[in-house]
Structure 1
Amino acid sequence: MPTANDLLARYAADIAFVAEEQPATTISDLAAQLYASTHNFDAAGINGTDELEAAAAYLVDAATATDDTERTVLLKKAADHLAYADDMVSEFRDMV
């Protein structure tokens, strides 16, 4: 199961690039950057922003979860929705 640190390590730098911000250091910040990045993905004609918005929603919930089991489930759901984020970022990088 992915942890918050796993998701930050895997996605923070790439999502920050698309959002034109510094890499997130918390899952709340990563969620905010996922929401922010959707505008740039949309402008570039890259599909998949619904998945990123869903991931962001799960991250927001995970950031405020008080139960470890609930947090683990929410982080897993967020990770599932981030499955194509690497491809999206790669396509975005090719366009800029």
Structure 2
Amino acid sequence: MTTDLHGKPQAATFLSLYADDVAFVTEEAPATTLQDFINQLSTASSRLDSVGINGAEELDTAAIYLSDAAHNASGTDQIALFNQADEHLRDVTDMVDEYRLMV
């Protein structure tokens, strides 16, 4: 697996940045693997959308990019897919904060 600018594996970076917030929405333990995280993103997207939080569909889009990066890409293509996923996850914390106020 490729690494980010800090030398960390990309998957580990996503988990460290977003897994806790996504897990709050899914009401599950934070994902420890990229595949679990991808699955949780889909669940979180559905739940956020069901309560009217703007941008929820971005999580599904990120899940697609992450899945492609994990299963179908390597090298610079994989890095590009991880970067695309990151773009779609940038507002996760804000979305989850809004969700916390609703539940």
CA–CA separation in structure 1 for the residues paired with 2:46 and 2:78:
27
- Structure 2 unaligned runs (5+)? none
| TM-fit CA distance, 1:66 | 4.6
> In structure 2, what residue type is equivalent to 1:70?
D
Q: How many residues align?
A: 96
Q: Which one has a bigger Cα radius of gyration? A: 2
Give the structure-1-normalised TM-score. 0.90
Deviations 1:53-78 (A, max 9, x none): 11010011111135222211111100
State, as a whole percentage, how many aligned pairs show the same letter: 45
Candidates 89, 93, 96, aligned match of 2:100? 93
* Runs of 4+ with deviation above 6 angstroms: none
Structure 1: tracts of 5 or more residues without a match: none
User: Which residue number corresponds to residue 51 of structure 1?
Assistant: 58
Structure 2 residue identity aligned to 1:19 = T
Alpha-carbon offset, residue 39 of structure 1? 1.9
* Aligned residues: CA RMSD: 1.4
- The answer for the alignment partner of 1:8 in structure 2 is 15
Give how far 1:27 is off: 1.6
Q: Counterparts of 1:1-96 in structure 2 under 5 Å?
A: 1=4, 3-96=10-103
SS at match of 2:28: coil
Measure, in 1, the Cα distance between the counterparts of 2:99 and 2:70. 28
Q: Deviations over 1:25-65 (max 9, x none)?
A: 12221111010112211222111122111101001111113
Distance change in 2, residues 1:85/1:5 (3 Å): same
